[in-house]
A and B are shown apart, each in its own frame.
Chain A
Amino acid sequence: MGAYFSEIFSGLWSLFVGMGITFREFFSPTVTVQYPYETLKMTARYRGHIELISDEEGNPNCVVCGMCEKACPSSCITLAGEKPEGGKKKVLTSYLLDFTKCSLCGSCVESCNFNAIDFSKEYNLASTRKEDFHFNLLQRLKDRNP
């Protein structure tokens, strides 16, 4: 008989404890990030597709050494450059990335000695055509620094 009542009262008490917990949660702030309206900042080590880095004047840091092209195990990168008349250094004329084959291994970023490429924080990539994943990085750089 004693066990019967103690079971009822301990059970009832546990119900009130549970309701106390949800009561506290009710008045706690919400933690949802409403995705299309708000976005989180991507973490420092997030790997998006690679992107060219520019200097202060908006020109690419790239010296067209071709190390990234050689380092890439899947031959994603095709780049070309030319030496202008009277200039000392080669200037980048095209940098094409075929992101359909890239596995984000990072060998290109690691092999670059001139701080010319880095991972972007781009994660909103969706398309039905593979041509949309062939990026012209030089053009993207110009679009970023008009």
Chain B
Amino acid sequence: MSLTLLNVIIAVVIAIAFAALNAAYLVWAERRGAARIQRRPGPNINGPFGLFQPPLDGVKLMAKQLLIPGDVDKILFMVAPVLAMAPAITSFVTIPFSDHIVGHNMHIGILLVFAFASMGGMALLLAGWSSRNKYSVMSSVRAVSQAIAYEIPMLITVITIVMITGTTDLMGIVKSQAGGFWHWNIFPFKAGVFNPLMLLSFLVFFISSLAETNRAPFDLGEAESELVAGFHTEYGSMGFGLFFMGEYANIVIGASLTTILFLGGWDCPFGLFPGVWWFLLKIYLLIATFIWIRWTFPRTTIYGLLNLSWKILIPFSLFNLLLTAGLLKVF
């Protein structure tokens, strides 16, 4: 019994450490990447290649006063940043990094991840509502309409994958893609299912995960040019820090899910050196693409965002769902 408790505590500590470390160093990677694209050096003063910048930023954030503006809803105001961070960390529990590195594998793992992903939208709504600030309210209204619009194509694509693999167990989904890159769900050569649209389905899922994590070009929730800082306008210190860490933890989860569902998880492309590093390589390549996209495209409008979802992504993912169902019936 005590051993189980110890296991749980260790798993939680590792999950928090992984999320926090990723959040800190993804900020560094983001700033260095942005700088390279804009032909600047980026943070390079503190330590080699500016590697001490994230811990120093963390110290600075923690040293600041946690200011609560007058007349805000204090309880919701304090709960919101925690609610932004907690589900992001909890989702790590069920994500399999390799066939034995997983916090707790569940038969309904994918359902759990999406249930927690929806709570992220809740956190933004609470933060915006409790801040007593018109920019924050505008921002949370946008964030929620965006979350609703993009969860639909995402979930329909996930249903397509679940139909192909026949399981909601994340580890089972990875195992069904084992044995070389031509078995991955992104490619249409899978035995039994010759669905040529899976590559586009991958794009739909990838775009939706960009939108779900409030990343540019879909970062309407915190559109600086219009809404100051959006839902976290009134937050300072670690309140802001938690939103920031939650955002980056969500990016890691989005990349992990994309890897598990479409890119074969920890499965290595040619059967060479199997192990967790293939999974890490894939998720960090996806995260690098996230950063690359952010510093390439300008922010869309709210109309463009909703049009993209309701007029293109949802009809397309529905069509692919029907096509996959038909193909599974035929073959």
B39 CB–A CB distance under 8 Å: yes
Q: At the interface, yes or no: B36 with Cβ under 8 Å from chain A?
A: yes
CA distance A26 to B41 in the complex (A): 11
Are B296 and A31 closer than 8 Å at their CB atoms?
A: no
User: B41 and A34: CB pair below 8 A?
Assistant: yes
Q: Would A19 and B296 be within 8 Å (CB), given that A8-B312, A26-B33 are in contact? A: yes
Taking a contact as CB atoms under 8 Å apart, the answer to whether A25 and B37 are in contact is yes
The answer to whether A32 and B39 touch (CB under 8 A), given A18-B297, A19-B292, is: yes
B293–A25 contact, CB under 8 A? no
A28 at the interface (CB under 8 A from B): yes
B296 adjacent to A30 (CB under 8 Å): no
CB of B40 within 8 A of CB of A26, answer no
| Contact assessment for B292 and A28 in the assembled complex, using a CB-CB cutoff below 8 Å | no
Report A-chain residues with C-beta under 8 Å of the C-beta of B39: 25, 28-32
Q: How large is the interface on B (under 10, 10 to 19, 20 to 34, 35 or more residues)?
A: 10 to 19
Q: Could you mark each residue 45-74 of chain A with 1 if its beta carbon is under 8 Å from any beta carbon of chain B, else 0? A: 000000000000000000000000000000
A22 at the interface (CB under 8 A from B): yes
A142 to B35, CA, bound (A): 45
Contact: B41 with A25, CB < 8 Å? no
Query: In the complex where A8-B312, A30-B36 touch, is A22 in contact with B41 (Cβ < 8 A)?
Result: no
Chain B contacts with A in 271-302, Cβ cutoff 8 A: 292-293, 295-297
Residues of A near B293 (CB, < 8 A) are: 19
Range of interface residues on A (Cβ < 8 Å):
10 to 19
A30 neighbours in B (Cβ, 8 Å): 35-36, 39-41
Q: Hey, which chain B residues are within 8 Å of A31, CB to CB?
A: 39-40
B46 interface hit (Cβ, 8 Å):
no
Nearest opposing residue in chain A for B35, CB measure: A30
How far is it, in angstroms, between the C-alpha of A34 and the C-alpha of B43 when the chains are bound? 11
**Residues of chain A with a CB closer than 8 A to B41's CB:** 30, 32, 34
List chain A residues, Cβ under 8 A from B33. 26
Is B145 part of the binding interface, using a Cβ–Cβ cutoff of 8 Å? no
Interface: B7 (CB within 8 A): no
Q: A23: CB under 8 A from chain B?
A: yes
Complex alpha-carbon distance, A30 and B39, angstroms: 4
- Against A, the Cβ 8 Å flags (1 = close, 0 = not) of B6-42 are 0000000000000000000000000001011111110
CB distance from A12 to the nearest CB of B (A): 8
CB neighbors of B among A1-59 (8 A): 8, 15, 18-19, 21-23, 25-26, 28-32, 34
Residues on A with beta carbons closer than 8 Å to the beta carbon of B37: 22, 25-26
- B residues near A23, Cβ cutoff 8 Å: 292
A8→B35 CA distance, assembly (Å): 31
Q: List A contacts of B292 (CB < 8 A).
A: 19, 22-23, 26
How far does the alpha carbon of A61 sit from the alpha carbon of B40 in the complex, in Å? 45
Residues of A within 8 Å of B295, CB to CB, are 22
Q: Contacts of A15 on B, CB cut-off 8 Å?
A: 297
A31 to B39, CA, bound (A): 6
Chain B residues positioned under 8 Å from A22 (CB to CB): 37, 292, 295-296
Docked CA distance A29–B39 (Å): 7
Give the residues in chain B near A34, CB-CB below 8 Å: 41
User: How many whole Å from B45's CB to the nearest CB in chain A?
Assistant: 9
Q: Kindly provide the distance from the CB of A4 to the nearest chain B CB, expressed in whole angstroms.
A: 8
Min Cβ gap A124→B in Å is 20
- Cβ contacts A to B, 8 pairs, < 8 Å: A15-B297, A19-B293, A23-B292, A25-B36, A25-B37, A26-B292, A29-B39, A30-B40
Nearest 4 A-B pairs (CB), nearest first? A22-B296, A26-B36, A22-B37, A32-B40
Using CB atoms and an 8 Å cutoff, list the residues of chain A in contact with chain B.
Answer: 8, 15, 18-19, 21-23, 25-26, 28-32, 34
- Given A25-B38, A25-B39, A26-B292, 6 extra CB contacts under 8 A: A8-B312, A22-B37, A23-B292, A26-B37, A31-B39, A31-B40
